[in-house]
Amino acid sequence: MSIMGINAMRGEKLTKKQIRSKILLRLKTQKEEDRDKKSKIIKEKLFRTSVFKKAKIVMFYISFGGEVNTQDMIKKAHRLGKIVAVPVCKHHKITIRPCMLRNKTKIQNGPYGICEPAIKEYIKLDDLDLVIVPGVAFDKKGNRLGRGRGCYDYFLKRLAPDIASIGLAFDFQILPSLPTTPTDVKIGKVIFA
């Protein structure tokens, strides 16, 4: 999508479906070198935050489909001594459970083509200190547009208020505002480049 297309999208009132379609296309067509460069900048910003530095157990997502690359983040978090969890989805349900991802753990394809640990060691929600949240688009008020299944909204709603949430995004995923519904859950912060 061209800059003109993004600017036009920012000025229009598009539906969630329209926004999702345009941003997903942009994610898929972004040059890999741009994705890598911006992902490294986002990683450095995240690792400098006080909430990340203090966190003992961090839940990342395993990136796919052009998302901000989390593989290097996960490796570095392990090197720093953090306990890393990733989401595991249940088939035909909107339930996400945090699952331990140990260094060198074998991963496999789970529901929706999302990778997850082959051996499941679940972590209690209340044990999480920080949740790194994927999204298709975000706005400056903390609203998030996901892939349309509601998995993360349901998951975030179940977290205790003291568990921080941070979305990761590329600059073209940040919009002035997003259409919302009562079931949407805001996140605490978005880091982008």
- Residue 91: which pLDDT band, with cuts at 50, 70 and 90? low
**139, β-bridge pairs:** 175
Q: Quick one: which H or E segment has residue 22?
A: helix 16-29
Judging by beta carbons within 10 Å of its beta carbon (0-12, 13-18, 19+), is residue 74 exposed, middle or buried?
buried
- Residue 150: which pLDDT band, with cuts at 50, 70 and 90? confident
- Residue 63: which pLDDT band, with cuts at 50, 70 and 90? very high
pLDDT tens per residue across span 14-30 = 999 999 999 999 999 99
pLDDT tens per residue across span 116-143 = 899 999 999 999 999 999 999 999 899 9
Give the C-alpha separation, 188 to 98, whole Å.
Answer: 19
**Contact at 8 Å (CB) between 130 and 159?**
no
> Helix, strand, coil proportions of the chain in percent (round to 5)?
35, 20, 40
Compute how many other C-beta atoms are within 10 angstroms of the C-beta atom of residue 130.
23
In this structure, which topology does domain 3-192 adopt according to CATH? Rossmann fold (3.40.50)
Look up tokens 């395993």; give the residue. 62
Q: Stretch 148-162: mean pLDDT, rounded?
A: 91
Question: What are the residue boundaries of the structural domains of the chain, listed by start?
Answer: 3-192
- Residue 113: which pLDDT band, with cuts at 50, 70 and 90? confident
CB neighbour list of residue 93: distance below 8 Å, 6 or more residues apart: none
- Residue 110: which pLDDT band, with cuts at 50, 70 and 90? confident
pLDDT of 93 reads: 64
Average pLDDT in the chain: 90
How many degrees, rounded to 5, is the angle at CA 36 between CA 2 and CA 55?
120
pLDDT of 3 reads: 39
Look up tokens 């699952």; give the residue. 99
DSSP alpha helix (H) spans, 30-88: 32-48, 50-54, 71-79
pLDDT of 1 reads: 41
Give the C-alpha separation, 122 to 173, whole Å.
Answer: 31
Q: Are strands 137-139 and 144-145 parallel, antiparallel or unpaired?
A: antiparallel
pLDDT of 92 reads: 62
pLDDT of 21 reads: 95
**Contact at 8 Å (CB) between 103 and 74?**
no
This prediction has a pTM of 0.90
Region of 122 on the Ramachandran plot (φ > 0 left; ψ -120 to 50 alpha; else beta):
beta
